[in-house]
Amino acid sequence: EPEVTQTPSHQVTQMGQEVILRCVPISNHLYFYWYRQILGQKVEFLVSFYNNEISEKSEIFDDQFSVERPDGSNFTLKIRSTKLEDSAMYFCASSGTLAGQETQYFGPGTRLLVL
Amino acid sequence: AQSVTQLDSHVSVSEGTPVLLRCNYSSSYSPSLFWYVQHPNKGLQLLLKYTSAATLVKGINGFEAEFKKSETSFHLTKPSAHMSDAAEYFCVVSGSGGSYIPTFGRGTSLIVHP
Protein backbone atom coordinates (compact mmCIF):
# COMPACT_ATOMS: atom_id res chain seq x y z
CA GLU A 1 0.00 0.00 0.00
CA PRO A 2 1.43 3.43 -0.88
CA GLU A 3 2.44 5.58 2.04
CA VAL A 4 3.78 9.00 2.90
CA THR A 5 7.37 8.98 4.10
CA GLN A 6 9.27 11.60 6.06
CA THR A 7 12.93 12.21 6.81
CA PRO A 8 14.59 12.53 9.19
CA SER A 9 12.63 10.77 11.89
CA HIS A 10 14.34 12.88 14.54
CA GLN A 11 16.27 16.14 14.34
CA VAL A 12 18.03 18.09 17.04
CA THR A 13 19.11 21.63 16.26
CA GLN A 14 20.32 24.77 17.98
CA MET A 15 18.08 27.78 18.34
CA GLY A 16 18.49 30.13 15.39
CA GLN A 17 19.53 27.41 12.97
CA GLU A 18 17.64 26.57 9.81
CA VAL A 19 16.05 23.16 9.44
CA ILE A 20 14.49 21.45 6.46
CA LEU A 21 12.02 18.65 6.98
CA ARG A 22 11.40 16.38 4.05
CA CYS A 23 8.38 14.46 2.90
CA VAL A 24 7.60 12.19 -0.01
CA PRO A 25 3.82 12.22 -0.58
CA ILE A 26 1.89 9.44 -2.24
CA SER A 27 2.83 9.60 -5.88
CA ASN A 28 -0.52 10.41 -7.53
CA HIS A 29 -1.65 12.86 -4.89
CA LEU A 30 -1.87 16.54 -5.71
CA TYR A 31 -2.49 18.20 -2.35
CA PHE A 32 0.09 18.35 0.36
CA TYR A 33 -0.05 19.48 3.97
CA TRP A 34 2.08 20.09 7.01
CA TYR A 35 0.87 19.76 10.58
CA ARG A 36 2.61 19.97 13.89
CA GLN A 37 1.96 18.56 17.32
CA ILE A 38 3.64 20.14 20.29
CA LEU A 39 4.12 17.60 23.06
CA GLY A 40 0.89 17.15 24.98
CA GLN A 41 -1.11 19.39 22.66
CA LYS A 42 -3.40 18.97 19.68
CA VAL A 43 -2.32 18.32 16.12
CA GLU A 44 -2.41 21.72 14.41
CA PHE A 45 -2.70 22.56 10.74
CA LEU A 46 0.19 24.62 9.34
CA VAL A 47 -0.17 24.84 5.57
CA SER A 48 -1.59 23.25 2.46
CA PHE A 49 0.02 23.26 -0.96
CA TYR A 50 -1.31 22.66 -4.44
CA ASN A 51 -0.07 23.36 -7.93
CA ASN A 52 3.22 24.76 -6.64
CA GLU A 53 1.71 27.31 -4.35
CA ILE A 54 0.29 27.63 -0.88
CA SER A 55 -3.48 27.08 -0.80
CA GLU A 56 -4.08 27.97 2.79
CA LYS A 57 -2.03 28.58 5.91
CA SER A 58 -2.71 29.00 9.56
CA GLU A 59 -1.56 31.87 11.76
CA ILE A 60 1.20 29.59 13.04
CA PHE A 61 2.76 29.57 9.57
CA ASP A 62 4.58 32.91 9.75
CA ASP A 63 7.52 34.28 7.78
CA GLN A 64 9.89 31.85 9.47
CA PHE A 65 8.24 28.97 7.64
CA SER A 66 8.29 28.11 3.97
CA VAL A 67 7.31 25.13 1.86
CA GLU A 68 8.58 23.92 -1.44
CA ARG A 69 8.17 21.11 -3.89
CA PRO A 70 11.67 21.12 -5.33
CA ASP A 71 11.12 18.18 -7.65
CA GLY A 72 8.39 15.78 -8.65
CA SER A 73 8.47 13.77 -5.47
CA ASN A 74 9.65 15.75 -2.43
CA PHE A 75 7.72 18.27 -0.37
CA THR A 76 9.74 20.24 2.18
CA LEU A 77 9.09 22.43 5.17
CA LYS A 78 11.81 24.92 6.04
CA ILE A 79 12.06 26.75 9.32
CA ARG A 80 14.41 29.65 8.75
CA SER A 81 15.54 30.45 12.27
CA THR A 82 14.31 27.93 14.78
CA LYS A 83 12.94 28.92 18.17
CA LEU A 84 12.58 26.79 21.26
CA GLU A 85 8.83 26.73 20.76
CA ASP A 86 9.25 25.11 17.35
CA SER A 87 10.07 21.86 19.12
CA ALA A 88 7.30 19.51 18.05
CA MET A 89 6.37 16.53 15.93
CA TYR A 90 5.84 17.62 12.35
CA PHE A 91 3.53 15.55 10.15
CA CYS A 92 3.29 15.67 6.41
CA ALA A 93 0.10 14.52 4.67
CA SER A 94 -1.19 14.21 1.15
CA SER A 95 -4.55 13.71 -0.51
CA GLY A 96 -5.91 13.13 -3.96
CA THR A 97 -8.41 15.96 -3.84
CA LEU A 98 -9.11 18.99 -1.69
CA ALA A 99 -12.65 18.24 -0.54
CA GLY A 100 -13.28 18.27 3.18
CA GLN A 101 -14.33 14.66 3.12
CA GLU A 102 -11.23 13.48 1.33
CA THR A 103 -8.92 11.31 3.37
CA GLN A 104 -5.52 12.73 4.08
CA TYR A 105 -2.75 10.18 4.42
CA PHE A 106 -0.17 11.02 7.03
CA GLY A 107 3.50 10.28 7.29
CA PRO A 108 5.16 8.98 10.47
CA GLY A 109 6.37 12.43 11.47
CA THR A 110 9.66 14.16 12.21
CA ARG A 111 10.37 14.91 15.83
CA LEU A 112 12.18 18.26 16.01
CA LEU A 113 13.95 19.33 19.15
CA VAL A 114 15.31 22.88 19.34
CA LEU A 115 17.90 23.48 22.06
CA ALA B 1 -16.24 27.26 13.09
CA GLN B 2 -15.67 23.64 13.97
CA SER B 3 -14.26 21.96 17.03
CA VAL B 4 -13.75 18.51 18.47
CA THR B 5 -13.78 17.37 22.07
CA GLN B 6 -12.42 13.99 23.05
CA LEU B 7 -13.89 13.47 26.45
CA ASP B 8 -11.23 11.16 27.86
CA SER B 9 -7.49 11.66 27.72
CA HIS B 10 -6.91 8.04 28.76
CA VAL B 11 -9.07 4.93 28.57
CA SER B 12 -7.95 1.70 30.19
CA VAL B 13 -9.57 -1.67 29.36
CA SER B 14 -8.78 -5.33 29.77
CA GLU B 15 -8.06 -7.45 26.73
CA GLY B 16 -11.28 -8.95 25.41
CA THR B 17 -13.56 -6.27 26.87
CA PRO B 18 -15.38 -3.57 24.87
CA VAL B 19 -13.78 -0.27 23.93
CA LEU B 20 -15.55 3.10 23.91
CA LEU B 21 -13.69 6.26 22.94
CA ARG B 22 -15.87 9.33 23.07
CA CYS B 23 -15.90 12.25 20.68
CA ASN B 24 -18.20 15.25 20.44
CA TYR B 25 -17.99 17.80 17.69
CA SER B 26 -19.24 21.25 16.91
CA SER B 27 -19.85 22.27 13.33
CA SER B 28 -21.90 24.82 11.46
CA TYR B 29 -22.63 22.45 8.61
CA SER B 30 -22.78 18.73 8.03
CA PRO B 31 -19.23 17.73 8.71
CA SER B 32 -17.03 14.88 7.70
CA LEU B 33 -15.69 13.00 10.69
CA PHE B 34 -12.68 10.75 10.96
CA TRP B 35 -10.95 8.59 13.50
CA TYR B 36 -7.21 8.16 13.20
CA VAL B 37 -4.94 5.90 15.22
CA GLN B 38 -1.30 6.53 16.00
CA HIS B 39 0.92 3.75 17.24
CA PRO B 40 4.25 4.68 18.82
CA ASN B 41 6.71 6.06 16.28
CA LYS B 42 4.20 5.62 13.49
CA GLY B 43 2.15 8.02 11.39
CA LEU B 44 -1.55 8.67 11.74
CA GLN B 45 -3.54 5.84 10.20
CA LEU B 46 -7.16 6.25 9.15
CA LEU B 47 -9.50 3.93 11.04
CA LEU B 48 -12.77 5.08 9.53
CA LYS B 49 -14.62 8.10 8.23
CA TYR B 50 -18.16 9.43 8.05
CA THR B 51 -19.13 11.51 5.03
CA SER B 52 -22.95 11.84 5.20
CA ALA B 53 -23.74 8.32 4.08
CA ALA B 54 -24.62 5.58 6.57
CA THR B 55 -24.54 6.81 10.15
CA LEU B 56 -22.92 3.61 11.39
CA VAL B 57 -19.46 3.41 9.93
CA LYS B 58 -17.31 0.30 10.00
CA GLY B 59 -13.57 0.68 9.91
CA ILE B 60 -10.47 -1.42 10.04
CA ASN B 61 -9.47 -3.79 12.84
CA GLY B 62 -13.05 -4.27 14.03
CA PHE B 63 -13.66 -0.64 14.98
CA GLU B 64 -16.85 1.18 14.21
CA ALA B 65 -18.37 4.56 14.99
CA GLU B 66 -21.86 5.95 14.96
CA PHE B 67 -22.67 9.47 13.83
CA LYS B 68 -25.42 10.92 16.02
CA LYS B 69 -26.39 14.36 14.84
CA SER B 70 -28.81 14.97 17.71
CA GLU B 71 -26.02 14.37 20.21
CA THR B 72 -23.24 15.82 18.00
CA SER B 73 -21.25 12.71 18.78
CA PHE B 74 -19.09 10.28 16.87
CA HIS B 75 -17.97 7.73 19.44
CA LEU B 76 -15.57 4.95 18.47
CA THR B 77 -16.29 1.41 19.64
CA LYS B 78 -14.90 -2.08 19.39
CA PRO B 79 -16.56 -5.16 20.89
CA SER B 80 -13.38 -6.79 22.12
CA ALA B 81 -10.05 -5.07 22.75
CA HIS B 82 -6.79 -6.61 21.63
CA MET B 83 -3.36 -5.81 23.01
CA SER B 84 -2.38 -4.41 19.62
CA ASP B 85 -5.12 -1.77 19.93
CA ALA B 86 -3.07 0.11 22.51
CA ALA B 87 -2.35 3.45 20.82
CA GLU B 88 -3.38 7.10 20.62
CA TYR B 89 -6.70 7.78 18.90
CA PHE B 90 -7.69 11.07 17.33
CA CYS B 91 -11.15 12.24 16.37
CA VAL B 92 -11.09 14.74 13.50
CA VAL B 93 -13.74 16.97 11.93
CA SER B 94 -13.50 18.70 8.57
CA GLY B 95 -15.63 20.06 5.79
CA SER B 96 -17.45 22.57 7.96
CA GLY B 97 -18.38 25.65 5.97
CA GLY B 98 -16.59 24.23 2.96
CA SER B 99 -13.22 24.20 4.68
CA TYR B 100 -11.13 21.14 4.08
CA ILE B 101 -8.82 21.96 6.96
CA PRO B 102 -9.33 19.33 9.60
CA THR B 103 -9.58 20.07 13.29
CA PHE B 104 -8.11 17.45 15.58
CA GLY B 105 -9.19 16.43 19.02
CA ARG B 106 -6.57 16.21 21.75
CA GLY B 107 -6.39 12.45 21.45
CA THR B 108 -7.30 9.55 23.70
CA SER B 109 -4.67 7.11 24.83
CA LEU B 110 -6.06 3.57 24.88
CA ILE B 111 -4.37 1.26 27.36
CA VAL B 112 -5.08 -2.46 27.10
CA HIS B 113 -4.28 -4.71 30.05
CA PRO B 114 -3.69 -8.43 29.64
Q: Per-residue confidence at B101, pLDDT binned at 50, 70, 90?
A: confident
Q: Per-residue confidence at B51, pLDDT binned at 50, 70, 90?
A: confident
pLDDT for the residue B52? 74
Yes or no, beta carbons of A48 and B31 under 8 Å apart? no
Yes or no, beta carbons of B44 and A41 under 8 Å apart? no
CA of B50 vs chain A CAs: smallest distance (Å) = 8
CB atoms within 10 A of CB B59: 17
Q: Considering chain A, what percentage of its residues have pLDDT values greater than 90?
A: 67
CA–CA distance, B114 with B23 (Å, rounded to integer): 26
CA–CA distance, B105 with B23 (Å, rounded to integer): 8
Instruction: Encode pLDDT of A69-84 as tens digits.
Output: 988 789 999 999 999 9
- In chain A, which residues touch B (CB < 8 A)? 3-4, 6, 9, 41-45, 48, 56, 58, 91, 93, 98-109
Yes or no, beta carbons of A100 and B32 under 8 Å apart? yes
Instruction: Encode pLDDT of A22-53 as tens digits.
Output: 999 998 888 999 999 998 888 999 999 988 89
pLDDT for the residue A30? 87
The pLDDT of residue A100 is above 60:
no
Yes or no, beta carbons of A108 and B43 under 8 Å apart? yes
Residues in Cβ contact with A39 at an 8 Å cutoff, skipping those fewer than 6 apart: A87, A88, A89
Yes or no, beta carbons of A43 and B90 under 8 Å apart? yes
Q: By CB neighbour count within 10 A (0-12 exposed, 13-18 middle, 19+ buried), where does A110 fall? A: buried
